[in-house]
Amino acid sequence: MFKMNKSFFILAGLAFLAIFSTSCKPKEHSKTTGWEYNNPKNGGFEVAQSAEQMTGPGLVLIEGGTFTMGATTETPFYEWDNSPRKVTVSSFYIDQTEVSNLAYLEYIFWLSRVYGQSYPQVVHNALPDTLVWRDRMAYNEPLVRTYFRHPAYQNYPVVGVTWLQANDYASWRSDRVNEGLLIDAGILDFDPDQVNENNFNTDAYLAGQYEGLIKEGKKDLDPNGTGVRNVRFEDGLLLPNYRLPTEAEWEYAALGLIGNTLYNRVVERREYPWNGSGVRTDETKYYGSFVANFKIGSGDYMGVAGNLNDGASIPAPIGSYWPNDYGIYNMAGNVSEWVLDVYRPMTPEFVSDFNPYRGNIFQNVKKDIDGGIAPKDSLGRIVYEDITPEEAAARKNYRKANNVNYRDGDYQSEIRNDWLDGEEDAADSKTMYEYGQTTLISDKARVVKGGSWNDGVYYLSPGTRRFLNEDESASTIGFRCAMIRVGSNMPGGNK
């Protein structure tokens, strides 16, 4: 009996100490002013607890670093639009697999439920072009009807999606993930009756233009507030936007050099997302098996019955074959993938060596006549507009909103600008990328990375570059999403 009472008192004492230590935890104060944070008595300036960024659904953290971007093998086509150069990419997140038909069907379902009655064109504009399967000299008609919608193809990568549609999907995904985070945190409740402009949009919510069904809300420490407020981005609960990866991010993730590095040195530069120059695995159990889905040779898409090589005549299910050293699947073969960049053959010569990217168009949130954020549009989205020349006039790091042509097609930034006197003389320099007249390239040409089920082995190299207009699609092109990494480049901070 004594032993039991003794144990009880020990446990009670420990519980008291735990409560006491918690209640006596020192308040956090500003190192600048000495004022206490998160105290409504002194104005309620709120400071969120510092925390690592959580990994969003479907994503894998890619630890950034320096690598040689560009060609890893000699081109058989005598193209030289990917000259090797050393660049650095910040840490980021990328989808472990391509976006599947099932994921895209969920997107179409949501659009139909929210916009289908009043804005059916929104749903129609988002649908993949299933006619990309048609071939004038092949019988692919069954795929037109089955590939996107039949349950047997649910886990296959979605194709027939334009670059524009892929970006819209990424925006929708950002909103659904953030809405889910607010629901999980008890801030909002499920609202199945969202329709038209009354739907959760992250920007609209942060701007105070969407309220939703409040469950518990966020406690407002402002002494002049209402007691409950919307979550702010500074609270650290919401994730940054999903988006397409940049060309540099995609190529860096595809190479997976984290598994090929020793003491800050890449010991062997890779041609593909795996070691060696072959396309078969050297694992004993699967020795000789193909590591990607591609066109082996003329007329050979999958091998001979009874002993198939890559085993897929069209795209294979997402997650097929072996992942690279980042744990990402199908960064070579299966489907080529859209990335964020505008295509220019001379991009390697001009882009920054830190987070290189071509395609910036700088924008601001549209303001109303009083300087506040303009009302959201009929679809519930905050409106953005290009910055004005007046806003950029005094800048040293940029001079205008649209920088797609910077140093490649823009007379203002060309070397010839030194001796050109005016726009009249400079006009001819802008014809370099007049689509259909001087080149197939335009400002709508977007970079496509990676080989597909219909490509030869050369295109499996992550350094290869191709392009397609942003409003076109193909049976060989899909996509995956990415997200920035905020804060430290590695979990736990830099050591």
In this predicted structure, the answer to whether residue 313 has a pLDDT above a threshold of 80 is yes
Confidence of residue 5 (pLDDT cuts 50, 70, 90): low
Q: What is the pLDDT of residue 303?
A: 85
Please state the rounded mean pLDDT for residues 109-121: 98
- pTM of the model as a whole: 0.90
Encode pLDDT of 362-388 as tens digits: 999 999 999 999 999 999 999 999 999
Are 40 and 224 within 8 A, CB to CB?
Answer: no
pLDDT tens-place string over residues 44-95: 899 988 778 999 999 999 999 999 999 887 777 777 788 899 999 999 999 9
Cβ pair 240, 484 in contact under 8 A: yes
Of the candidate ranges 113-122, 152-161, 250-259, the one whose mean pLDDT is the lowest:
250-259
197-234 per-position pLDDT tens digit: 999 999 999 999 999 999 998 999 988 888 899 999 99
Least confident range from 22-26, 106-110, 320-324: namely: 22-26
Asked whether residue 8 carries a pLDDT value surpassing 90, the answer given is: no
| Residue type (1 letter), 19 | I
Question: CA-CA distances (angstroms) from residue 119 to 126, 164, 172, 378, 453?
Answer: 12, 18, 16, 10, 36
Q: What is the mean pLDDT of the chain?
A: 88
Tokens, residue 8: 């009880």
- Predicted confidence (pLDDT) at residue 157 exceeds the cutoff of 90: yes
From 430, 334, 448, select the one nearest 99 (Cα to Cα).
Answer: 334
Q: Is the pLDDT of residue 427 over 60?
A: no
Looking at residue 412, its amino acid is Q
Confidence of residue 130 (pLDDT cuts 50, 70, 90): very high
Residue 419 binned pLDDT confidence (cut-offs 50, 70, 90): very low
CA 181-184-189 angle, 5° bins: 100
Give me the percent of the chain exceeding a pLDDT of 70.
Answer: 87
Q: Is the pLDDT of residue 413 over 90?
A: no
With both helix axes pointing from N to C terminus, report the angle between 101-115 and 163-184 in degrees, rounded to the nearest 10: 80
Q: If phi over 0 gives left and psi between -120 and 50 gives alpha, with beta otherwise, what is residue 54?
A: beta
Q: Which two tokens stand for residue 349?
A: 């010569």
- Cβ atoms of 328 and 321 closer than 8 Å: no
Q: CA-CA distances (angstroms) from residue 256 to 67, 331, 426?
A: 10, 10, 44
Q: pLDDT band at residue 280, thresholds of 50, 70 and 90?
A: confident
Nearest to 380 by CA among 142, 159, 209, 263: 209
